[in-house]
Chain A
Amino acid sequence: MTPLGKAPDVSDVPDVINRYVADFRAFAANGAGGAPSWLKEIREGAIARFAQLGFPTTKQEAWRFTSVAPIAETRFVRAPGSEVPVSESQVAPLLLRRAAGPRAVFVDGRHAPALSSRVGLPRAVEAGSLAAALQAGGGSELARAHLARHAAWRESPFAALNTAFLLDGAFVHIPAGIALEQPLELLFISTGQSLGPTVTHPRSLVVVDRGAEAAVIEHYVSLARGVYWTNAVAEVVVDDEARVEYYRVQGESRDAYHVATTHSRQGRDSYLGLHVVTLGAALARHDVHTVLDGTGAELILNGLYLLGGAQHADHHTLIEHARPHCASHEFFNGVLDERAHGVFTGRIIVRPGAQRTDSKQTNNNLLLSTEARADSQPQLEIYADDVKCTHGSTVGPLDQTALYYLRSRGLSAETAQSLLTYGFAAEILGRMRRAEVRERLDQVVRDRLESGAAARAA
């Protein structure tokens, strides 16, 4: 085994891995953004770990239903970053928030200050570039305390790769007691305007201190079609008594690959609403790992995937109850049309001593076509005796009795069908507490379902 912190000799590993290791050498040699030495060490460790793990295969249990061969076999180059000019008028229609609000915009993984806005943000709040925070004196202490400390990059080759190439992304810090009035949008734009397939490794660190309140939107979009790969990692730290609504919206191009890890850690009596909306990419894999690490913490993990064409999206969630008296309610609904394939794995671990855990998980999948497919697997691991854990999942077409029920009240067969389908999505949207975000996503979902129905009718 290669010792941590030292990259392997490139001749030890297969070609595909070699390419990434060689590219890492070039990346590190170029200064890699003048990073502090502690970060350089983490990067070295991460590339070593990636070289050990390699790309996963479908022989591995966690990847049974998702082949990443298209990613492994494509020769991606690191996106040049901020070289493609993006104008404010191009950004406006891409934002989830239409009203003017605070935002940090990233173009091909690099922060774009000219496109970002701090409007309405208290002075003490940080909401900008991770690269800048790593160079600055004050910010880097906080970054050092949290960055790569939560996301399990030692277990995941993709998180390891992101960590190795960690350069920029969002850095958000809400100091104790501050309540953000407006949602903060982190917009990651892939330009897709390069000669060949590009990859970005955007990294986000969101730290919400004790008693603070915030709504954050992590939003992925593209300017153009074209094959590119986003390999994102976000670490979200919710301190004692903090309350966070976190919206993660993936609206990449239908030709893109999107692999992501979201890792959250919650303190005592905190609340986290983690909402995941997956609409884009040809192939998407999202690992969500949440840790309830303080007594009385509450988590709502609420996800929706709407897929069509030949889209494939795999959500792999792990909720870890590490302390007693915590509640986690997980709901994922999938609407799958045409030849789309949705995969959901919901693992819940109740650690010894995490008594009075209240955990509920449901995953419902609606198949709108006979060629669509969904795989759903719950995994409960309970090591405490005084807990309440339930789970359930369904996969199937629209309920014929429900259709008849709606028609018997005067709705046409077509309206009944679209209402039932919309209801599947609306159930998830209904749990989003920020009306301004919920309503926008509601419109996005309606547009999406309508265009899907129009395609079916054509």
Chain B
Amino acid sequence: MLEIKNLHASVEGREILRGVDLTVRAGEVHAIMGPNGSGKSTLAQVLGGHPAYTVAEGSVLFEGKDLLAMKPEDRAREGVFVAFQYPVAIRGITNAYFLRSAVNAIRKHRGEEELGPVEFMDRLEDKLQVIGWDSSYLSRPVNDGFSGGEKKRNEILQMAVLEPKLAILDETDSGLDIDALKTVAHTVDKLRRPDNATVLVTHYYRILTHIAPDFVHVLSDGRIVKSGGKDLALELEEKGYDWIREGAAVA
């Protein structure tokens, strides 16, 4: 589904990613861990198409198509979703209107009929239940006045509604209390299907006790320096990141 090869990317002239290789297949859950400043969020933003990041080298194929050549909106329409670490508040636009606009943009791209407000609300009902929200959140402006936890839940609601093939969650777990974390993890887990994939970018082991990843990768200084199964996450939790860095320096 996703094939990243030798990806180099920079922001404001600073090179952050220095040759990332990663392959994600349908049905898999990957966790990307690493210390602060290792390039985890940069990887997520580059995959989303953030205009502030420039790619100097390497390739990213999504279902065989050149992802890097696509505009952010085309990536979303093709089925890539990036949950933001810092979701943006959109004043004056209700959550319901925003979600419906997004769903319809994607449906239109797929050649499906656009949904009217009533039809859309019907479909939204059970998605709301999953994240434990009532419909009052839909009439509020997008993320405007939302707490940190509410913003993260809203990202997960968007994901649930847009049903992406590939979801990249950029530190969705950070800043969440234990209940919110469980809700987020539970929702991600519930949305797992053989034909979609999830990449969890995280600093902490915590969320991985709720979502068992198939693969764990350690990103350090812009490269994946170690990959393994979910046991690797546990090892990181016990030993920290320093031993990996030292190992990488030796290697």
Contacts and interface: CB of A to CB of B under 8 A. Distances in A.
Given A419-B93, A424-B92, A426-B92, A408 B105 contact: no
Interface stretch (A211-219, A352-360, A396-404): A396-404
Interface stretch (A30-38, A141-149, A409-417): A409-417
29 contacts: A400-B51, A401-B88, A402-B88, A404-B49, A404-B50, A404-B51, A405-B88, A406-B90, A408-B75, A408-B84, A409-B76, A409-B105, A409-B158, A409-B162, A410-B73, A410-B102, A410-B162, A415-B105, A416-B73, A419-B90, A419-B98, A420-B93, A422-B93, A423-B92, A423-B93, A424-B91, A425-B92, A427-B92, A427-B141
B91 A423 contact: yes
B48 interface: yes
A277 to B, nearest CB: 15
B97 to A, nearest CB: 8
B72 A408 contact: yes
B71 interface: yes
Contacts of B89: 402
Contacts of A402: 88-90
B92 A408 contact: no
B109 interface: yes
Nearest to B88: A405
B48 A408 contact: yes
A289 to B, nearest CB: 28
A422 B94 CA distance: 12
A416 B109 CA distance: 16
A137 to B, nearest CB: 49
A347 B101 CA distance: 39
A122 interface: no
A430 interface: yes
A378 to B, nearest CB: 19
A423 to B, nearest CB: 3
Contacts of B73: 407-408, 410-413, 416
> Ordered nearest first, which 3 A-B pairs have the shortest CB separation?
A423-B92, A427-B92, A426-B92
Contacts of A426: 92-93
B106 interface: yes
Contacts of A416: 73
A416 to B, nearest CB: 8
Contacts of A425: 92
A171 to B, nearest CB: 36
B82 interface: yes
Interface string A112-123: 000000000000
B152 interface: no
Given A408-B73, A410-B73, A416-B73, 20 more contacts: A404-B48, A405-B84, A405-B90, A407-B73, A407-B76, A408-B81, A408-B82, A409-B105, A409-B162, A410-B77, A413-B73, A415-B105, A419-B90, A420-B90, A423-B90, A423-B91, A425-B92, A427-B141, A428-B92, A429-B92
A413 B101 CA distance: 13
Given A400-B51, A404-B51, A415-B101, A410 B106 contact: yes
A407 B91 contact: no
Nearest to A427: B92
A394 to B, nearest CB: 11
Q: Which of A399, A407, A422, A427 has the most CB of B within 10 A?
A: A407
Contacts of A410: 73, 76-77, 102, 105-106, 109, 162
B19 interface: no
B20 to A, nearest CB: 20
A426 B94 CA distance: 10
B88 A409 contact: no
A390 to B, nearest CB: 15
B87 interface: yes
A429 B88 CA distance: 21
B18 to A, nearest CB: 24
B140 to A, nearest CB: 10
Nearest to B51: A404
A399, A405, A410, A427, most chain B CB atoms within 10 A: A410
Interface centre among A406, A408, A419, A428 (most CB of B within 10 A): A408
B136 to A, nearest CB: 15
Contacts of B77: 410
A409 B102 contact: yes
Interface in B59-90: 71-73, 75-77, 81-82, 84, 87-90
A409 B162 CA distance: 8
B120 to A, nearest CB: 14
B132 to A, nearest CB: 22
Contacts of A429: 92
A439 B183 CA distance: 37
A407 B101 contact: no
A245 to B, nearest CB: 20
Given A404-B51, A404-B72, A407-B76, A412 B90 contact: no
A454 B119 CA distance: 31
B71 A407 contact: yes
Contacts of A428: 92
A205 to B, nearest CB: 34
Residue among B73, B84, B88 having the largest count of chain A Cβ atoms under 10 Å: B73
Contacts of A408: 48-49, 72-73, 75-76, 81-82, 84
Contacts of B158: 409
**Which has the most chain A C-beta neighbours within 10 Å: B48, B52, B92, B106?**
B92
Interface string B108-145: 01000000000000000000000000000000010000
Contacts of A399: 88
B159 to A, nearest CB: 10
A425 B89 CA distance: 15
A219 B11 CA distance: 51
A408 B72 CA distance: 5
B7 to A, nearest CB: 18
A411 to B, nearest CB: 5
